[in-house]
Amino acid sequence: MNRRGMICASLSLIPAGLGLAPRAAPAQTGEAPTLAPLNTAWQAWKTANLTADGRVVDAYQEGASHSESQGYGLYLATRFGDGDAFRRIYTWTEANLAIRGDGLLAWRWRAEATPPVEDLNNASDGDLFYAWALAAGAEPFGLPEARGRAAAIAAALDEVCLRPLPAEPGALLMLPGAEGFDRPEGVIFNPSYWMPRLMTELGTEFDRPRLVQAAEAALRQLGAFAARGLAPDWALATEAGWQPPPAGFSANAGYEAMRLPLYLCLSGQGGHPLVARFAAAYAAAMAGGDATPTVMDALTGAVQERSPHSGYAAIAGLSRCAAPASGTGLPIPLFTIDQPYYPATLHLFVLIAQLEGFPACVPI
């Protein structure tokens, strides 16, 4: 389930008007910018990563497709108003990953495997992005059945993938997947699977208040991680509080956790303390012009791995620019397709966040 193995805020701070709506120009308070400046990047992303039949290929992971890649692709198609890409991704995903029986998606498909889906477990972040995009794109793309699928996924996330936080009675958090994360000693969570805006909007749209509660709890817990350092890729929740995860799960702030400042910025949470924590860590680690850290010690910020891919540099730049009192910050590089699926996709997400919420963070 570790797809990257290879390679104290309140929801009241989320801006009003960010409801489920398909758009190249998302509905926000006041005059919203459009995504038109990013259309060339979107076309390049599709050429590099999307097959004719609607499969988003992660070449760095054995050419696999997973619910994350399909969910990310469908989210982008919705945001860019691309009905053709939406239909292709939706059709392939339903035919190949929607095979569990509870509405959720199997997490990975590989052409070389027999059968192509070797593990029926889901990945809740992929389900979350996929369901949000289905709900947003159903009406404008003329696919009313997509809304029903979104409702089914929202129900399954609510009923199957939410767990109480042992140390905080009444609090709920979203599991990484339906199976395998409940342990006798506690519950294993992946904080980067918590995307506050999408959880809130999906829960509101389909009257699933527990998803909204889980988004609120996620923001609190991300604040708790920020109080002591960076958020880790994986952590074990126990009655005594957060503990390192079991063997086989990364306790570093790596390829998973790096998404968190980006998700917070996309959720209108640029002032969240975890964004500031990542901003400071990036500033210290890149002071000499070094390549972007991709794996850091979650407590000390010590760099364990770096990458030259511009998508990771874009996250560092957005974090520095969004964080309060961060000065001029680091530059956000312009999009390039000369990078693998994962950093390229995160790069496009960064540019959407910048265009919509951080106009002063001009890409260079």
The identity of residue 147, as a single letter, is R
The single residue of 82, 125, 205, 216 carrying the catalytic annotation is 125
Active site residue 84: no
> Which of 172, 181, 84, 91 has its CA nearest to residue 130?
91
> Which of 319, 330, 170, 320 has its CA nearest to residue 257?
319
Active site residue 62: no
SS3 readout for the chain: CCCCCCCCCCHHHCCCCCCCCCCCCCCCCCCCCCCHHHHHHHHHHHHHHECCCCCECEHHHCCEEEHHHHHHHHHHHHHCCCHHHHHHHHHHHHHHCCCCCCCCCCCEECCCCCCCCCCCCCCHHHHHHHHHHHHHHCCCCCCHHHHHHHHHHHHHHHHHCEEECCCCCCCEEECCCCCCCEECCEEEECHHHCCHHHHHHHHHHCCCHHHHHHHHHHHHHHHHHHCCCCCCCCEEEECCEEECCCCCCCCCECCCCCHHHHHHHHCCCCCCHHHHHHHHHHHHHCCCCCCEEEEECCCCCCEEEEECCHHHHHHHHHHHHHCCCCCCCCCECCCCCCCCHHHHHHHHHHHHHHHHHCCCCCEC
The single residue of 68, 82, 205, 216 carrying the catalytic annotation is 68
The catalytic residue positions are 68, 125
